[in-house]
Amino acid sequence: NAGVMQNPRHLVRRRGQEARLRCSPMKGHSHVYWYRQLPEEGLKFMVYLQKENIIDESGMPKERFSAEFPKEGPSILRIQQVVRGDSAAYFCASSPPGGRSYNEQFFGPGTRLTVL
Amino acid sequence: DQQVKQNSPSLSVQEGRISILNCDYTNSMFDYFLWYKKYPAEGPTFLISISSIKDKNEDGRFTVFLNKSAKHLSLHIVPSQPGDSAVYFCAAEIGGGSGGGADGLTFGKGTHLIIQP
């Protein structure tokens, strides 16, 4: 059973370009979470999605950032017109549906975005 | 506003001794707490968790203690091993027991544990 997969692992963009980060959850998982880790900081929650639905996007910046989790395919975190402050590690996590015993989120290896 | 605080950026412990990592929180609505371990260039890995209705949870060499009145939790690792060297994140969430998947976790900044031979 493969773990959470993220690609690319490293992404370099120039200011003003778009960044697309992909996350494939673990098999059987229908919940996806995106987190951002700035240098010397902890992970900050961005958005929580289920298939075709955004459940909680309270941590998403209001502009330039969007996320989706389509019925087929990976979850995508999209950052338009990137700025240097977007440089960070972006982690995706997934969890299965169910009760409290399944509450642990399994993390992918992260995508390190560098904006030049 | 840092709702989950790990005040020690790093901790050095001798192999075989006990490692104690501390975490404080300010939001009394948190009712579920987790510890994650992270190696460089990898994602965090779940280690152990505790519900607010308990004050202790043990799993092998790892024990988490929760003091709700002090809004404090700690992770004990005994005996410490070289492979334990990593960054440890404390995380918390609201809405324990609601089922249907978790909402976002609130993380501390992490403590870098170094196990010395």
What digits encode the pLDDT tens for the residues A24-66? 999 988 889 999 999 888 899 999 999 889 988 989 999 999 9
Q: A49 and chain B: CB distance < 8 Å anywhere?
A: no
Interface test with B, best of A43, A44, A53 (most B CBs within 10 A): A43
What is the per-residue pLDDT across A68-112, written as a single tens digit (0 to 9) for each? 999 999 999 999 999 999 999 999 999 887 644 445 788 999 999
pLDDT at B97: 42
A104 vs chain B: nearest CA distance in angstroms?
Answer: 7
Interface of B with A (CB under 8 A): 4, 6, 32, 34, 36, 41-46, 49, 51, 89, 91, 93, 96-97, 99-110
pLDDT at B98: 46
Contacts of A3 by beta carbon, 8 Å cutoff, 6+ apart: A26, A106, A108
pLDDT at B96: 57
**Do A79 and A22 meet the contact criterion of CB atoms below 8 Å apart?**
no
Read off the DSSP letter of residue B52.
Answer: T
What is the per-residue pLDDT across A11-24, written as a single tens digit (0 to 9) for each? 999 999 999 999 99
Q: A16 and chain B: CB distance < 8 Å anywhere?
A: no
**Do B73 and B66 meet the contact criterion of CB atoms below 8 Å apart?**
yes
Q: How far, in Å, CA of B114 to CA of B63, rounded? A: 18
pLDDT at A28: 86
Chain A contact set for B106 (CB, 8 A): 45
Three-state DSSP at B83 gives: helix
Chain B contact set for A35 (CB, 8 A): 104-105, 107
Q: Residue B39 has which token pair?
A: 């190696």
Q: A1 and chain B: CB distance < 8 Å anywhere?
A: no
Q: Residue A89 has which token pair?
A: 């590690």
pLDDT at B45: 92
Q: A31 and chain B: CB distance < 8 Å anywhere?
A: yes
Q: Do A107 and B49 touch (CB under 8 A)?
A: no
- Partner residues linked to B1 by β-bridges: none
Q: Determine whether B46 is exposed, middle or buried from the number of CB atoms within 10 Å of its CB (0-12, 13-18, 19+).
A: middle
pLDDT at A1: 52
How many interface pairs between A and B have CB atoms less than 8 angstroms apart? Answer: 85
Of A26, A30, A92, give the one whose Cα is nearest residue B101.
Answer: A30
**Do B116 and B12 meet the contact criterion of CB atoms below 8 Å apart?**
yes
pLDDT at A30: 87
- Cα dihedral: B3, B60, A91, A50 (round 10): -90
pLDDT along chain B (117 residues), means of 10: 91 97 95 93 92 95 97 98 96 65 78 96
Q: Where would I find the beta strands (DSSP E) of chain A? A: 5-7, 10-13, 19-24, 31-37, 43-50, 53-56, 65-68, 75-79, 88-95, 106-107, 111-115
**Do A77 and A90 meet the contact criterion of CB atoms below 8 Å apart?**
yes
Quote the longest CA-to-CA distance of chain A.
43
